[in-house]
Every structure is written in C-alpha cells, then in structure tokens.
Amino acid sequence: MIPWRPLSFGLNGSALYFARYMFLRLLPMPLVRHGVGRCIAFFATLTGGKREAPLASPAVNEVVNRIKSSGFSALPPVLTASQAAEVRAFLAEQPAYDGKREFFVTSGPCDALRASYPVATILKCPHLLRAINSPEALSIAEAYLGCKPTIAALGLNWSFPQPGREADVQQFHRDSEAWRLLNMFIYLTDVDDEAGPHRYVLGSHRTMGRVRLTPYSESQVNDRFGKSSTHNILGPEGTTFIEDGWGIHEANPPISKRRLILAVMYSLGPIPIYDYERVKVAETHDYDKYVNRLLFA
C-alpha cells in the first residue's frame, strides 16, 4: 500500500501538503467537491490528462450512469480464478506488514487483524498491474472524473478473523482525501458472509459528509438511508466492483474466513497525504505513463 506522508515542519514542506488536505476536508458538501473537481479535471486536460477518443462504449456509459445514480456498480471480472490463484501463490513467498511487524501470511502470527503489501510487491505480482490498467476501468474512471485518471492509491490487503476487534476501514466511513475519486476492488479470495464482505450505502455519495473523520454507526446509516440501502458485495475470487469513494462504505470484519482484496483508487491527480515512492517496473511501455506516473520510476 502507499504510506502516508509523515507530518513535519521542516524543509520538506509536508505541513503544506497536510494544509491542502485539511482545506479539502473542511468542505464536506458534495456539490462543492464536484464543482472543484470539475475545475481540476479541466486543468488536468491541459497538462497531460487529455481525454482519449473514443471515450467510452455504451457498456461503459451504462456503468458510469449507475455510479452517478447509486455510487456503485459491479464490473465483469478482470482476473480469472486461475489468475487469482497465481496471485496468492506469489504472495505466499512475499512478506506482508500489519503496521508493527513483517511476516508471511502462510505462517504469520495468529493475532494479526490486517496485513498489506508494499507497492513494489503489488507491481511485481503477476496480473495485478494489468488489472488496474484494464481499458474498461480506465474508460469508466475517465468518463466519471472528467479527465484521464491518475492511479493515486493502491493497496493489497489481507483481513483476518479476530472476534471483537476491527480496524478503522472496518467501520462505515467516507474517503475524503481527494476532491473526486473512484475505487475499484477485486476479491482475490472467495467472499461470503463469513469472510468480511465489502458494504456500500447506495446513494450516500450524493449526501453531506462530516468535517471530522468519525465513523458512522450501523444505526446512523439505517436511520438516515434505510436498512435496504446497504449493499453487501458477495462473490467468488475475481469478483470486481467500482464505487464513488465519497459514498459511505466499510470492509465488514471477517467472522471465520480470511479475505484478500486488491484496491485501486483513480483520482484527478496526486493526493497530498500520500508519500509516493516510484518503483522500477519492466515493460512500462505497455501502460499509460500519465495514469501510472505516481507508480513508475
């Protein structure tokens, strides 16, 4: 995953980055955020983020319309079951990190709640770089954001069943670090109710957020949007979906099964709070340099 930029007041200027982030956070009104996003998208088209032509097929436009309406859409799988198995086999020999220690998931500590892999591991993993650069996903992001997207965040995370414990992302929240963003998720293990399915509150992307990043309780979500608005995403390995990250969502804590998920954020440009470290990747000519400029050295 891409780490947060450390906050300091030295010559590296990270305090300025956090000031930009806090200014963004202080405007939780979706119409304002979309308006600023449209302005940024316009300037992005002048600096390399020019739209491709043709922009989108009817199938892509249908997905974009679903996201505009409900904030969420399922996508055709971008990885097969055999490719997902190859990903897991590769990761079995790569150390993961839970915030305190490195370990191999196949023989790791039994008390870990979540574990993630560094960007260098993700980009070297078979099939994943091609998956996050799938033409369909990039076309959807371009049509929704209004300019060629930037891959601004990337994560490959295990969640482990730990009764009575949950991480921050395992509570209802909004992604507030960008003016406009889309998140695409790919399940790399089978996910049922026991494996901690992702949950999205349909229509919540059009509603006012909070200045403080306090999570939403289940009762608050049900009172405001209705219990039927919460959509649980279940499916086999390879299940793929995309959502407006401003909408309220959570990763439900696993009950008895572990879950592996790939998450990629498409945004208008770099996000101030992330500390980007570009990685040397073979055959980068296969992928759009603008889209991947924060990933490739």
The predicted pLDDT at position 112 comes to 85
Confidence of residue 165 (pLDDT cuts 50, 70, 90): low
Domain assignment present for residue 4? The answer is no
Q: 220 lies in which domain range?
A: 14-286
Say what the pLDDT of residue 51 is.
63
Instruction: Decide if 3 is inside a domain.
Output: no
User: Could you tell me if residue 57 is inside a domain?
Assistant: yes
Residue 95's identity, in one-letter code, is P
Gap between the Cα atoms of 91 and 261, Å rounded: 12
Q: What pLDDT band is residue 286 in, cutting at 50, 70 and 90?
A: confident
Q: pTM of this prediction?
A: 0.93
For residue 2, being part of any structural domain is answered with no
Can you tell me the distance from the alpha carbon of 148 to that of 184, in angstroms, rounded to the nearest whole number? 16
28 is a domain residue:
yes
Rounded to whole angstroms, how far apart are CA atoms 97 and 123? 16
Does residue 26 form part of some domain? yes
Confidence band, pLDDT 50/70/90 cuts, at residue 2: confident
Q: Rounded mean pLDDT of 121-125? A: 96
- Residue 125 near residue 87, CB atoms below 8 Å: yes
Q: How many domains does the chain have?
A: 1
Judge whether 293 lies within some domain: no
Q: Is the pLDDT of residue 174 over 90?
A: yes
Q: Is residue 251 a part of any domain in this protein?
A: yes
If you ran DSSP here, which 8-state letter would residue 87 be given? H
Cis link prior to 54 (omega < 30° from 0)? Answer: yes
Indicate the length of the chain as a whole number: 297
Q: Is the predicted pLDDT of residue 124 greater than 60, yes or no?
A: yes
pLDDT tens string 256-269:
999 999 999 999 99
C-beta separation of 137 from 266 below 8 A: yes
d(C-alpha 198, C-alpha 261), whole Å: 10
Q: What is the CATH number of the domain that holds 111?
A: 2.60.120.620
Residues 43-78: tens digit of each pLDDT = 998 887 776 655 568 899 999 999 999 999 999 999
Q: What is the pLDDT of residue 56?
A: 65
Q: How confident is the model at residue 10 (pLDDT cuts 50, 70, 90)?
A: low
